Amino acid sequence: NAGVTQTPKFRVLKTGQSMTLLCAQDMNHEYMYWYRQDPGMGLRLIHYSVGEGTTAKGEVPDGYNVSRLKKQNFLLGLESAAPSQTSVYFCASSYSVALEGHEQYFGPGTRLTVT
């Protein structure tokens, strides 16, 4: 199993440009999440999904959109990038609520710089 993969690994954008980050998991997980990581702030939840075709806002959703058209994929879009979106983005997935612990499995991250 590849686990959770993210594409691309690095990206540099100019202010106002758009892009999509792709997350894929091969563990048949229902739940998927997008986080951003900034120094000294831990990880903050951007958006999440509890199943194919569903999405919901997390703590810091402004400026981002997501889609979950297929169970194994979770896309994060930036329509008009801003320097404040310079960050490392992590995707994660987990089993359904029927299991204890909600352990999340993380991808390797995408480092995004907006100039």
Partner 1 sequence: AQSVTQLGSHVSVSEGALVLLRCNYSSSVPPYLFWYVQYPNQGLQLLLKYTSAATLVKGINDFEAEFKKSETSFHLTKPSAHMSDAAEYFCAVSHKPNAGGTSYGKLTFGQGTILTVHP
> Which stretches of the chain bind partner 1, using CB under 8 A?
4, 31, 40-45, 48, 50, 56, 58, 90, 92, 94, 97-98, 100-109
Distance in Å, CB of 50 to partner 1, minimum: 5
Distance in Å, CB of 17 to partner 1, minimum: 24
Distance in Å, CB of 61 to partner 1, minimum: 13
Distance in Å, CB of 16 to partner 1, minimum: 28
Reduced to 3 states, what is the DSSP secondary structure of residue 35? strand
Q: Look at the alpha carbons of 71, 72, 78, 82 in this order and tell me if their dihedral is positive or negative.
A: positive
- In the numeric block, which tokens belong to residue 11? 């990206």
C-beta closer to partner 1: residue 56 or 82: 56
C-beta closer to partner 1: residue 8 or 16: 8
Residue 20's H or E segment, with its range, is strand 19-25
C-beta closer to partner 1: residue 1 or 42: 42
C-beta closer to partner 1: residue 12 or 97: 97
Q: What are phi and psi of 109, to 5 degrees?
A: 100, 155
